[in-house]
Structure 1
Amino acid sequence: MAKHLFPQFPADEQREVVALCERLGFAPEDFEIKDEGSEPANGGVRRRQVSVRRLATEAQSMYDASEGPGWIGEFESDLECGLFGQAPRQARA
């Protein structure tokens, strides 16, 4: 299983996560984001799971990222519903 830290994610995913965090009043550094993936065997599907943990609250969630950056929308929903706690600063309008 290959493991990657957030700085090793594709550049487009990094940009989307940074923009999302800033828009909702979080700092990207507030989170430990990493993934784990497996190469497909016998023509199977490549599996990728992204783990996000907020350092201040220890709240965490896992997202299926096998289909690409769609996991970011799920992360956004979790931020908006307060799963990771309140934003430490005022979000931009």
Structure 2
Amino acid sequence: MAQKRYHELPTGERDAFEAACARHGFVPEDFEVSVQEHAANAQRTISIGRVVGSQFEQYATADGIDWVALFERDLAGDVFGFPLAD
């Protein structure tokens, strides 16, 4: 199992993550993102938490599941709280 950081995600996933953040008033720097790759089954687990102390939510990817859509659903549901004021 290999661990990666946000900047190591594919460009398309980073762009989608950043767009989801912007649509909900966040910036990517509001979050800590880590990726665990499971070589045995080609699955990844993306862990995302607010930098200011929320619990981490985990999104498993396999068979084309879009983890960014699941993350955005959680943003809309206030799982990560409200954006910080500028």
TM-score strictly above 0.5: yes
Matched, 1:63 2:63: no
The one-letter code matched in structure 1 to 2:48 is V
Aligned counterpart, 2:45: 49
Aligned CA RMSD, in angstroms, stands at 1.7
Instruction: Give structure 1 stretches of 5+ with no counterpart.
Output: none
Instruction: Give structure 2 stretches of 5+ with no counterpart.
Output: none
Aligned counterpart, 2:22: 22
Moved more, 67-76 or 31-40: 67-76
Q: Matched residues, percent identical? A: 30
Aligned counterpart, 2:73: 77
Aligned counterpart, 1:38: 38
RCO comparison, higher one (Cα < 8 Å, 6+): 1
TM-score (norm 1): 0.83
Query: What is the correspondence of 1:3-22 to structure 2 with a 5 Å cutoff?
Result: 3-22=3-22
TM-score (norm 2): 0.89
Instruction: Give the whole-Å Cα distance in 2 for the aligned partners of 1:60 and 1:17.
Output: 16
Instruction: Give the whole-Å Cα distance in 1 for the aligned partners of 2:16 and 2:85.
Output: 19
Moved more, 52-61 or 28-37: 52-61
User: What is the aligned residue count?
Assistant: 86
